[in-house]
Each structure stands twice: as structure tokens, then as C-alpha cells.
Amino acid sequence: MTAPLRLVIVGGGTAGWMTAAAFASTFRADQMRIRLIESSEIGIVGVGEATLPHIRFFNKRIGIDEQELMARTQATFKLGIEFCDWGRVGDSYVHPFGAFGTRAGPVPFHHLWLRQAREGKAKPIEEYSLPIVAARQNKFALPAENKDDIMSTFGFAFQFDASLYAAYLRTFAEQRGVVRTDGKIIDVKLRGDDGRVESVKLSDGSDVTGDLFIDCSGFRGLLIEQALKTGYDPWTKWLPCDRAVAMPCENAGRLTPYTRATAREAGWQWRIPLQHRMGNGYVYGSEFIGDDEAAARLSSRLDGKALAEPRFLRFTAGRRRRTWNRNVVAIGLAGGFLEPLESTSIHLIQVAITTLIDYLTEQSLADGGDFDPRIVDGFNRWIEMEYDRVRDFLILHYHATERDDAPIWNYCRNMQIPDSLAHKMELFRHRAHVVTYKDGLFLEPSWLAVYFGQRVMPEAYDPRVAAWSDEELTKWLGTMHARIAEGVMRMPAHEEFLAQYCPASAMPPKSEMPTMIAAKRPS
Amino acid sequence: MNTAVKNVVIAGGGSIAWIAASALRRTLKSNGVEVTVVDSPEAGAPAARWTLPSQRGAHAQIALNEADFMRQAEATYRLGSEIRAWQTPNGGFLIAHGDIGAPIDVTPFYKYLLSRAMQGNAENPEMYSVVAGAARMGRFARPMGAGNDLSASFTYGYHLDERAYVMMLRAQAEKFGVRVVPGRIAAVDRREDGDIESLTLDDGQAVTGDLFLDCTGATGELISRLDDAPRLDWAHWLPCDRRLTAFMPPSAEPAALTRILASDAGWLFQAPLARANFVGHVYSSAHLTDEGALQVLLRIAGQLGTPPEITRFNSGRRAKFWLRNCIALGGSAVQIEPLAGADLHLAQLGLATLLELYPLDRRGGGEAQEFNRVVGEYADSLRDFTVAHYRLSKRPGAFWDTARTAEPPETLAVKLDLYGAGGRIDIRDHEVFEEGEWVWLLMGSGLMPRALEWQIARAVSGLKSQQASELRDYVARLVTSMPRHIDFLHRVRSTPANAPGANA
């Protein structure tokens, strides 16, 4: 038996503890020794309070009890994201976790809907999506197992307190053998022959050696960038926001089972309802608004009383050139940053973790981190694809707008978008065709929601729809509409469901930093 | 909403032309789409062929009854190919249309075999595969049984006589109201804007249309007049450029299997038909003369039943298949040796993509670009699968050295790298073959991963050798319970048309 691989995780935010929890639940102690170094002097950038349904695969894979997780993180359910004021001021649409209608034969539903809508015989498309109808009525129930049941046509995710989530995962990971070291890294030692990271030096003078290092140190990329000079590709020309300010407030009104993203004069504002408070923030471009003004705007647009002073954050949208370089894998903000418009931050962390675990071979574990370059390249290609596909989808939100009331929207409306996105939009405008792919995030319903929601209206639809008679179509759509309406009627209110499923009342929040993207404390 | 592109003209009279005609007419009849086939020869079409399972779907799409098809096209069933002498003089492996074993929870069974092989206990994957057992033992049944049972763990394609198949497909197209104009294409007439306006036939008749499909085969009689872009040449990876074929008397008991045997300058094949054997030699003219190729075939086959025919081809594809109002399908788009039997499959993927993107007007809105992207990826994946056979061969000789040592296409290099490092097979967006086919090829070729992914290794370590041997026994019992292929064929061929059970 060879010595266990020494895994060193640098940084203890969401990314760090998700990594620790996943590795600890996957590998035995005789295969891997996991140590996480975090400094209590350095605040975490708790990325992402809003998640995507994929997180449930992660939870299942590592053995997290979701009911307990929800109760401990003040969590609420999430059926989608409401986008306000994106196409035009006054517009609202929901990007749902579920499909629009049911496909009939080879033709996707939205083509059938378009034909009926043209003739004034269809309801708005969101009424053919169960999660949207439920979200609009603030209702929630768990999806049904039976695939024929209309109640099976949606998925869900969570909205939770990121700091509580990290704390929850920390307990989970430590119970499974992860050793936490409180310390600040002051130096990184590279090996002479191949430039790999050999050890990190802590401020108390001790050295921590390792075979594989996971850089979860946030934007600065302590290992991946400062030590290995990997390089970063900025996407600022398409995603011009480079700042955020966060400010939680008291809840007021009903707990919505969805996140809201409202387009503003210099970016957009998030609103994430948790059981004990509301998370809020303003993502903006520093070129378009000053920090103080952004904070003032945000605080004037809260649902309830502010619970903290504004916290600021700076970032550059983009991706690290190599997520895995030598024996360092960058996960979380160290690997890249895409604004949380579509709640992708935790998802991209999750993808990096699970892909890394899947790609690790017996050999690389046995040989003390002698990673086959073919595996490293394969991993990097995969992560690049994930980032690039999310990127295009985000750019669509900024570009597909008719707003001309602020410089940021004038810029985005007219900017040169990536060819891959221009091609997708052309095909949708021309004939409602959605370019789909097998791997990567955001399938057909996601693209449809944004296209329709932001007024990218197709000139035509799939000609094969002509094979349907008017009566057939009317019946198909009518039945679906009725089944969805009836299904939602039977669902309990979101608050009611939460109260019996995962009340957090007995567990007051421990964290002092309840923000989606909390700023760094002075270190 | 309707389409302004009403009048489709299909040039070429081979199987893909007729399948496309029927599918387009049947799907878009409600849109008033009329289809005309200019029935002219398809250059380079084979006299018989072996197909992938997707042919069953193609037949369903054009309402072709299986029993009728089997009878009229002189068809036999096909469970896969046997690839012999590519590694060692007497060794061979199967590429079969079915599973190896049953998944261990969610982990494919072949990973267990890889893990055993790495420990020095290599086993033949065929022992765990119903489809392989049936192919080897000359047996056949349609997949049956419920869900995950191994009796449903496979599918099948066909061997068919092209001339008889074409006659049948033409009759079917005419049933759907496809107009047929016999004649050879003398000229392609262009509009001022460069689009094709009409085809002038050798009798002077002009056939006008809105959209033209070029199914004329290797010559690409329409598309080559529009396209001055360089072809993407594959010859440095696939040096074979000749196909010598003939028919022979049938085998007494044909297996549902295409047999492929390496020669010194290419490979020989034998494909069983109901009343003949289709045999041939695919080879590189740079390494072997036509006469030499014939001698090699004769040495193996003995006497041929028909005079040999020689067809030339150039492996490669067009950079763009859809140009202006013309779309190339089949040999006019892609030429490749028939090792994988995927010519019709690839053309049908093109057809399916066209049905998704059938143009609404002459101007278009990105359809051609999307078609060229998607079908290009499919074509390249077929290239990769074919090239991999050569890349992984161990056969000595000048021809084999040339093919093996060519730097592989990047997409293939990536695939082989990931498998070689960790036993992982990644299938990207538009690929002709799935993990299953790649496994047969990679394991059969003897490419051994350096290691297994750790998670996978753990998943398969739970399987006990007792369980594996029970699985082997179950597979063997299933195979022996299947009818002989020849009996199954007799039964299907004697099924009256439209009888219950005549459909697949």
C-alpha cells in the first residue's frame, strides 16, 4: 500500500468547504489525507446564495441530508429566477427549473405554441410551465416521481445563507477526517525540477507540504496565479460589470420560491429570500456608477429594513487560462468569475469538484500526484467548455434588450457578441430554432425563457407544425394548461411547506456575514 | 406559418436519394412541399452494403415494413462486424451492436473487464455479451424482454442488396407522391444571384426547383459546380482508395455478421445476403495494383460468382455541405471507406438535420451554417472512428505503418489520450458512435489504459468473480435459446406482407 495522497485546500469559503466535504466523503483516510487551510483573519467571499437544481446531485453524491441542510442554512426553495426590467422597463419573466409544455413528436412545444399564439389562441407561454405558474403564486411542493404526472415536470434548488452553508459543510467535512488549519499563507515554495507547488508557508513559520493543492483562495489565486502565473482571460468587453455591493435586509411580504434579478441603471440587483432575512446586492459596472451611489440606490430599493452596512466587492469576469496547472487546481473564484445572474457560481464549483474526482485515477493517487498530462488536459477542456457555455448565456441577458435609458444598456445592446452566440440568436429570430448541446449547463427551456422574456421574437416557427390541425393543437394546449393550473392549485404555499419541512426557527444563524458576496474584511 | 421553399429537386437515384425524397414529402406534405427526383445514377454506390441499426429508424420514418424489406432487398440481419488480423495474424475482435455485460449500478461493465485485465486476468468481453454470442454462433432474434434484461441488450442492422433496395425505396417514394423524372444531368442552370434555378437533362428538359439535394454520389454533380472551396482530404489517415467487389454464392449458414479481414494493403470483406455473399477488397492503390488486389481476394474467396467491379474513391469531405440552395447528402458530401458501415447512417443524420432546419425562404437565417457545423461534426466523428482502427492496429507492413503512424486528428488524439490515461470515453455533441461502439473497438484493439479512474475502480471492485461467472452463464443460456439466423431469415422471408408481426 502506498502512502495516501496529501490534498491541501487553500481557502475555506464555499468552494473550499464544498471541496473538502466532497473529497472527504469520497476517499478513505488511507487513500487521501485532506487538510484545509483558512485564515480567520481573512473573510470569506461566500459565493452564491442561490443555487441550481444540479446541486441536488452533489448533495446526493456526497451524502447530504437536504432537509437538515435546509434547516441549518435558513434555506428556502427555488423554482426559478424572475427577471425584471431586462427587455424593457416593466417586463417580467421567469427562467424556470422545468420545461415549457410537452413536445409532440419531433417538434418542440414552443413551435406549437407559437402557431397558436400568432392566431391569438394561446395563453402566455409561462402558463404552460408548471414551475413558473407555481412561482407566480408563491407555492411549492416536492416534484412527483411518476413521469406521467404533471407534478413531475419541474425541478428545484435552494436559496440559502452561504456562510451557514460553508459552516455546515465544515462540520460535515471535519466529521469525515478533514483537518482544518487556521493560518495565513505567507509564501509558496515551488519544486526546482518541475515547478510544482511543494509546500506553503504559514505565518507561524510552519510549512504545509502536499501532493495536490486546491486553490480556493478567491480572486487573487494565491497558488494558481501568484505562484504559478497561469494567466486569466477577461471577458469584460461582454460582461462589463466589475463591482458588487451587498446589503441584507429584513423580510417583508411573502417568501418567494424564486430569486429575483432586476435590471438597473448600471447593472442589476439581486433579491434572494431566506427564512430569516433577504439577501440583496447590486452588481454594477464601475464605469457607469460610483460605489457610493450604487450603495445608496441599493439601500433605497430594499423590501425591508437593512440589516448591515453595505459590503463591496471587485471582480473581473473571465476564466483562468488553465484551471488545473501542474499540481494546482483552481476552484471557485480562483478559477474564474461569472456574475451570479443565473446562479452559476456554486454550480461551477460543483462541476470542477465532481469532474476532478471523476478524472482522478488510481495511478495518480498511488504515485503521489504524478498526474498524467492527458488527464489534466482533458479536465481543463471540460471546464473551459462549461465556462464558455455559461458565458454565452449570460451575455444574452445583457445584449437582448431594448432599453436605451442608460449607457450600460446602450453599450450592451450594440456590442459585438461572440460568434457562437450571434449564430444562436440568428436561428432563433429566424425560425425559433434553439441550438442545443449535449453537455454543459442550460438546455432548451432556459434559452427559450430568456429569448421570449427579453423579446427576441421569432419571425417563424418549424414548418412541421402544419401537420397539426387547429382542433388538435387547441386541445393539446388547452389540456396542458388546465392540468398545470389544477396541479398548482393543489400545491401548498411556499411558507407553509417550509414550516413543516425544514423550519430554521430552532437554529438561529451563527454567522456574522450573511451575504451572497460578502466583502473582504480588512486583513 | 409556412415555407416558401415548395419545390425540392433531388438529383441522384441511389438509396439516400429515395429515402430523402420519401421523408421530405411525408414530413412536409402539409406545407405543400413537392419533391421531384431526377433519377440518375449515384456515382460510386456499392452493389450491396452493410448498415447500422439506424436503418430501422429510417424505415419507420418512411413506413417500410421489415418483412417486405427483408424479402425484397435480399437482406440478412447484422449484429456487428468481426475485425480480423488487424492486430495479430489470427486474432480478431467484434464491433457489435449491443452491450458487454450489465452495468454495475451506474458503471459500465467493461470497466470491470478493464480492471481485471490490468491485474493480468484479461477476459474476452464477448463472453459477457449476448449480441457477440449470437453473432459468433450464427444466431439471431430481435431484442426482446423487459427493460434492463440482457435479452434486450442489443440492436441490429442489415446486409442488403443495393439494386433491389433502391427499387423498393423508389416504389415507396412514388407511393408518397414523389415525382420521378428519369434522365442524366447535362447542365446546372444558375440564377443571377448564383443559386441553382434548374437542372437541364440530357433530353433537353429543364427541372426547376427552390431547393436542390445533391445525391449524385462521388461526383457531386451539383455541389461541385457551386463549391470552389478546397475539400478536406483524409487520405493521409485513410490511404485506401479502391474498392474491388463481386458476388459469390451464399453460405449454407450465414452468421448475422460482416467479416472484415486485414490484407497487406487494406482489408477484405464478406457480407452475407439472402441469396449471395457480397465480397471485396478495399485497398490502397499506392501499395497494391488492381490485379494484385484481385489475386488477394481470389486466394481467400476461391472463385467469384460475378466479374469484379473496381470503384475509386477519395477519403475526405466537403468543408460545406449546404451551399446556397444546394445540399449534398451521401457520397457527394463525404467519401470514406465502408469499414464502419455508416455511409447511410451519416446521410440520414444529414437528412434529420435538414428536417429540423428545412428552409423557410430562399434567404435563410443561419440554417446552412448550423447544418454544416452539425453534419461536419458527425462526419469527423465517423472519420475518427475509422482512423482509430488503423491507429491501433499492430499489423506489420508498409501500408499499415503509413496508416498507423500518421498523426491522428486532434479530436481522435484527445479521445485516445483520455482512454489511455484513465479508461474514460467522452462522447461530444454530434458523434456517429456512442460509448458502446468505441468500447468494442478500443478493447478489441488491445489498447490498455494506464490506470482506471479511481471512482470507477472502486465501483467495479465490488463485483465478485462468482457474480461474473453467473453472468457469463446467463449470457450463454440466452444465446443458445435464440433461433439460428438462417431459420429466422426463412421465417421472416415467408411472412406474408402486412401480416401481424411483419413489422419490426
CB-side exposure of A100: number of CA atoms within 13 Å? 26
What mean pLDDT, rounded, does chain A reach? 92
pLDDT in tens, A178-202: 999 999 999 999 998 889 999 999 9
Residue A438 annotated among the catalytic residues of the structure: no
Distance from CA of A359 to the nearest CA of B (A): 6
Question: Torsion angle of alpha carbons A8, A10, A12, A15, nearest 10°?
Answer: -90
Nearest Cα neighbor of A89 from A258, A296, A262 is A262
Give kind and range of the element (H or E) at residue B160.
strand B157-161
**C-alpha A10 chain-centroid distance:** 22
Q: Within chain A, what is the greatest distance between any pair of CA atoms?
A: 79
Phi then psi for residue B326, to 5 deg, are -130, 135
pLDDT in tens, A499-508: 999 998 655 4
**B424 → chain A, closest CA residue:** A359
A343-357, A506-520, B60-74: range with lowest mean pLDDT: A506-520
Closest by Cβ to B1, choosing from A364, A429, A460 = A460
Q: Cell numbers 398545470 correspond to what residue?
A: A484
Distance from CA of B116 to the nearest CA of A (A): 14
By residue count, chain B amounts to 504
**A105 → chain B, closest CA residue:** B27
Question: Which residues pair with residue B244 across a beta bridge?
Answer: B281, B310
CA distance A386 to A396: 16
Provide the 8-state DSSP code for A144.
P
B56-61: Cβ within 8 A, 24+ apart: B56/B155, B56/B156, B56/B157, B56/B504, B57/B348, B58/B19, B58/B23, B58/B344, B58/B348, B59/B504, B60/B504, B61/B22, B61/B23, B61/B26
**pLDDT surpassing 70 at residue A275:** yes
pLDDT in tens, B315-358: 999 999 999 999 999 999 999 999 999 999 999 999 999 999 99
pLDDT in tens, A197-231: 999 999 999 999 999 999 999 999 999 999 999 99
On whether the CB atoms of residues A37 and A200 are closer than 8 A, the answer is yes
Q: Residue B69's pLDDT is what? A: 97
On whether the CB atoms of residues A390 and A421 are closer than 8 A, the answer is no
Please say whether the dihedral angle defined by the alpha carbons of residues A128, A130, A131 and A132, taken in this order, is positive or negative: positive
3-state SS of B232-285 is EECCCCCCCCEEEEEEECCCCCCCCCEEEEEECCEEEEEEECCCCEEEEEEECC
Where are the domains positioned within chain A? 5-49+161-230+317-388, 76-159+418-494, 243-314
Helices A419-431 and A373-399 pack at an angle, to 10 degrees, of 50
pLDDT band at A522 (very low <50, low <70, confident <90, very high): very low
On whether the CB atoms of residues A243 and A315 are closer than 8 A, the answer is yes
* CATH code given to domain A5-49+161-230+317-388: 3.50.50.60
Q: Residue B501's pLDDT is what? A: 44
Give kind and range of the element (H or E) at residue A140.
none
CATH 3.50.50.60 range(s) for chain B read 7-76+160-235+315-381
**pLDDT surpassing 60 at residue A514:** no
CA distance B351 to B371: 10
Buried b (16+ CB within 10 A) or exposed e, B178-211: bbbeebebeebeeeeeebbbbbebeeeeebebbb
This prediction has a pTM of 0.95
Helices B398-405 and B367-391 pack at an angle, to 10 degrees, of 130
Contact A365 B454 (CB under 8 A): yes
pLDDT in tens, A30-68: 889 999 999 887 766 655 588 999 999 999 999 999 999
What amino acid occupies position A300?
A: S
What amino acid occupies position B218?
A: A
Q: Cell numbers 451587498 correspond to what residue?
A: A246
Contact A463 B2 (CB under 8 A): yes
**pLDDT surpassing 60 at residue A123:** yes
Q: Residue A48's pLDDT is what? A: 58
Instruction: Report, as an integer, the average pLDDT of A255-283.
Output: 96
Contact B421 A378 (CB under 8 A): yes
CA distance B485 to B426: 34
What Cα–Cα distance (Å) separates residue A241 from each residue in A244, A337, A499, B184, B367? 8, 11, 37, 62, 33
Instruction: Report, as an integer, the average pLDDT of A137-142.
Output: 98
- The DSSP code sequence of A256-311 is -SSEEEEEETTEEEEEEE-SS-EEEEEEE-TTTS-HHHHHHHHHTT-SS-B-S--E
Look at the domain B7-76+160-235+315-381 and name its fold.
Answer: FAD/NAD(P)-binding domain (3.50.50)
**B429 → chain A, closest CA residue:** A438
Q: Cell numbers 427493460 correspond to what residue?
A: B147
On whether the CB atoms of residues A34 and A177 are closer than 8 A, the answer is yes
Nearest Cα neighbor of A491 from A96, A131, A141, A133 is A141
Tell me which chain B residues have a C-beta less than 8 angstroms from the C-beta of A361: 421-423, 450-454, 457
Give kind and range of the element (H or E) at residue A497.
helix A494-501
Assign 3-state DSSP to chain A and report helix, strand, coil percentages, each to 5.
40, 20, 40
Contact A358 B30 (CB under 8 A): no
- The DSSP code sequence of A436-481 is --SSSS--HHHHHHHHHHTT---S---GGGGGS-HHHHHHHHHHHH
* A-to-B residue pairs, Cβ atoms closer than 8 angstroms: 116
Q: Residue B466's pLDDT is what? A: 93
Q: Residue B60's pLDDT is what? A: 96
Contact B355 A118 (CB under 8 A): no
Q: Which of B455, B458, B460 to mutate to test the interface with A (most CBs of A within 10 A)?
A: B455
B276: which residues sit within 8 A by CB, 6+ positions away?
B48, B74, B161, B247, B248, B249, B250, B305
CA distance B205 to B183: 9
Phi then psi for residue B325, to 5 deg, are -105, 35
Q: Residue B156's pLDDT is what? A: 97
CA distance A216 to A480: 46
Nearest Cα neighbor of A375 from B453, B460, B83 is B453
Q: pLDDT below 50 — which residues of chain B?
A: 1, 500-504
Provide the 8-state DSSP code for B289.
-
On whether the CB atoms of residues A130 and A154 are closer than 8 A, the answer is yes
CA distance B260 to B268: 6
Distance from CA of B358 to the nearest CA of A (A): 8
Q: Residue B2's pLDDT is what? A: 65
Distance from CA of B114 to the nearest CA of A (A): 13
Q: Which of B114, B453, B456 to mutate to test the interface with A (most CBs of A within 10 A)?
A: B453
